[in-house]
A and B are shown apart, each in its own frame.
Chain A
Amino acid sequence: MLDFDKLDRTIHEKGRLAIMTLLATRPSWAFQDLKAELKMSDGNLVTHLRTLHQGGYVAVTKAMLDRPQTSYALTEKGRTAFQDYLRVLEQIVKAGKR
Chain B
Amino acid sequence: MNEQERAEEHLRTIRRLMERGTIYRAISAPTALVGGLLSLAASGIWLVSPVQNPEHHCNFLLLWIVVFLLTAGTNTLFIVHGARKRNEPVFSASMKAACSALAPPFLAAAVLTLLFVVAASDPLNQVTLGITWAICYGLGLLATSHFAPRSLTILGWAFLISGLGAVAAVRFAGNPMIWTLIDSHAVLFMAATFGLFHLIYAACAWPRAGAAPEL
Residues of A within 8 A of B (CB): 3-4, 17-18, 21-22, 24-26, 28-29, 37, 56, 59-63, 65, 71, 73, 75, 86, 89-90, 92-93, 95-97
Contacts and interface: CB of A to CB of B under 8 A. Distances in A.
B213 A59 contact: yes
Which secondary structure dominates where chain B touches chain A? helix
B213 A61 contact: yes
A86 B2 CA distance: 18
B22 interface: yes
Contacts of A90: 7, 11
B20 A17 contact: no
Contacts of B212: 61
Contact of B215 (A18, A24, A75): A75
Contacts, number: 72
Contacts of B14: 17, 21, 86, 89
Contacts of B21: 21-22, 24-26, 29, 37
A78 B7 CA distance: 20
A61 B210 CA distance: 9
Given A28-B213, A37-B20, A93-B8, 12 more contacts: A4-B7, A17-B10, A21-B13, A21-B17, A21-B21, A37-B21, A60-B213, A65-B210, A89-B11, A92-B7, A95-B4, A96-B5
Given A73-B213, A96-B2, A65 B208 contact: yes
Contacts of B214: 59-62
B211 interface: yes
A96 B7 contact: yes
B20 to A, nearest CB: 7
B29 to A, nearest CB: 16
B61 interface: no
29 contacts: A3-B3, A4-B6, A4-B7, A18-B17, A21-B13, A21-B14, A21-B21, A22-B17, A26-B22, A28-B213, A29-B21, A37-B21, A59-B213, A61-B212, A61-B213, A65-B208, A71-B210, A73-B213, A75-B215, A89-B10, A89-B14, A90-B7, A92-B7, A93-B4, A93-B7, A93-B8, A93-B11, A96-B5, A96-B7
